[in-house]
Structure 1
């Protein structure tokens, strides 16, 4: 009988699984409550943000503590474009490209650095972004923030607003995930992995660590802008607090808990970012930070590879338990027992016959 891994390697099984997932994603929003749809949409928003962070940290091994800045920047560009009645496609394009340009400029200056140095540069992004957003009140609304409600369901769709917004997140987020998957599984992904492993080895192979670190950081910034656009689709409000350093640290924790260098791990990271604070607040709002820190430590000790490594950990556990029990004893059949007994008695019988 074929093993589960062998069955999964068959192309038709994979395509069938993809088709089932697509059907579930298409049908599910129609039967869920408004609160559930909104929660799923929020998970999708931050799953995209974690995906961008995973590109630069998980796949390329560079420390980035400012990903939330690009989400907030994309949200502000979206809000400004909608408020000034820009074309929504143009608004979306600028919400993606403006953070990507800023990320490129930062990467050009910081990618030659390494370790803590580049971490310090990225820390400056949210630290500078918050007071800058407060000061540029004509564009950002200042400390009060700005709100927009542009993602209402069109009449021809027959959908409620929460359903329409969830579909937007699924479609745009799904495209981003598909494109990112192709990047990290192709030649760029292989170059990212070599740079992450050893920059000297990468240089000896003709791979420029500087070039690929800049590329990874720019891609992460662009994906952050996409998540900022989706943030305004779902949350419909942003303020300087959106770009706070605490939220940036939470994104890093979500990436680590979900699983570094993993597409699926980014989705699990989005789940953690949205659901765990709700659960800890339900337990005791005053202990939210403590409980989240405890969850992070437990996951790191039990599953160093994040939640995405849980199936592999369970498989290894089963193999170790089988090895501890040792090989099974060979079965004893009546025929072999009888045969061995007859052979043992035969010499005595022959001696009696000679006698």
Structure 2
């Protein structure tokens, strides 16, 4: 372990770094201009959406192409609740619970499927959701969509609207990221990893692949509902286009580029989802799709683990070989290292003999 790694592993250092990061996050909205605050808020919205997709695909290995449906569903519920003067807390809970219930029902039917079958089921969600939103015009506003303005900054706060909205995204999104991190790093996360690796092994260990697939899909649906609520906090307008299949593919690409099975990768994926179209439009608006596709291929070839794996890749490239000395020659092993293989052979021989070699030696000595 290097000195830098040892220093960063200390508890008080990690705590100090966390305090600094939190302080920067809290002060940043007060320093950025309005456009920057709105951009960062949109990144937070879609980072949460990518996080939900990561739970079901990155951590559990299920193929899901319908995550954007739950984002749009949560946005519609939020808009409908605001337009009908629901309490904002009730609206928030409904925008999470109802997508979660729909996700649970779909998962109960689809989790037993695998491969292309479950992919086809999830593809149907945005394909069916768009015309359904257009037909249910009394609830959704039809093709024109529906708007809901409910996040104007209160006068007592002294904040501008963009600052207040960004603080809401930071608070709600931060809680979601923290809860998801605890989920995937605990016993459920270990079960997700085993199911992703080999379902037969998971079953032999008493882990039900079906149960954990349903759980992962439901959690992803809940997180999608949170993202839909935050979408209305920032954008304050939604339409059937919000849940289109094209956006679902872009969300999947954002997860791959950010890093599948990574909390940090979800943040990077949200940044890609928002910033990549803006940057490619600056280059050439007619080549936006081509440039984004080329960027996706470039990341897949150079960083299969996504942008989140870049630090590990750089450490691997620049790390000095441990076996080479200053002159490039292999260092001479110490006496203890020379004797270690012999000692290991003795232990293995004793283990193979059932621990009887010591007894046999004593008998020989007595003889």
Q: Scaled by the length of structure 2, what TM-score is found?
A: 0.88
**Any idea what the Cα deviations from partners look like across 1:273-322, whole Å, max 9, x if unmatched?**
00011000111111000000000000010100000000011011112xx4
Q: Distance in 1 between matches of 2:308 and 2:80?
A: 38
Query: Paired residue for 1:218?
Result: 218
Q: What CA distance in whole angstroms lies between the structure 1 residues aligned with 2:8 and 2:103? A: 39
CA separation of 1:3/1:94 partners in 2, compared to 1, >3 Å: closer, same or farther?
Answer: same
Q: In the aligned structure 2, how far is the partner of 1:324 from the partner of 1:192?
A: 35
* Structure of greater Rg: 1
Look up the match of 2:96: 96
Indicate the residue corresponding to 1:207 in structure 2.
Answer: 207
Q: Which residue of 2 is the match for residue 30 of structure 1?
A: 30
**Corresponding residue of 1:329:** 327
TM-score of the two chains, using structure 1 as the length reference: 0.91
Partners of 1:13 and 1:193 in 2: CA distance:
30
Structure 2 residue runs without a partner (length 5+)? 330-367
Quote the Cα distance in structure 1 between the aligned partners of 2:180 and 2:156: 32
Partner of 1:171: 171
Instruction: Specify every segment of 5 or more residues in structure 1 that has no aligned partner in the other structure, as ranges.
Output: 332-355
Aligned length: 329
- Mapped pair 1:301 → 2:286: no
Inter-partner Cα distance in structure 2 for 1:57 and 1:152: 36
Cα separation, partners in 2 of 1:19 and 1:324, compared to 1, 3 Å: closer
Distance in 2 (CA, whole Å) between partners of 1:290 and 1:78 is 34
**Residue of structure 2 equivalent to 1:78:** 78
- Deviation of 1:329 after TM superposition, in Å, equals 2.3
Shift of 1:18: 0.9
Stretch moving more, 79-88 or 1-10: 1-10
Query: Corresponding residue for 2:236?
Result: 236
The answer to whether structure 1 residue 133 and structure 2 residue 133 are counterparts is yes
Distance 2:178 2:100 in 1: 19
Coordinate RMSD, CA, aligned: 1.5
Give how far 1:3 is off: 2.3
Match of 1:263 in 2: 263
Aligned to 2:53: 53
SS in 2 for 1:168: helix
SS of the residue 1:138 aligns to: helix
Q: Distance in 1 between matches of 2:51 and 2:326?
A: 46
CA distance in 2, matches of 1:150, 1:40: 19
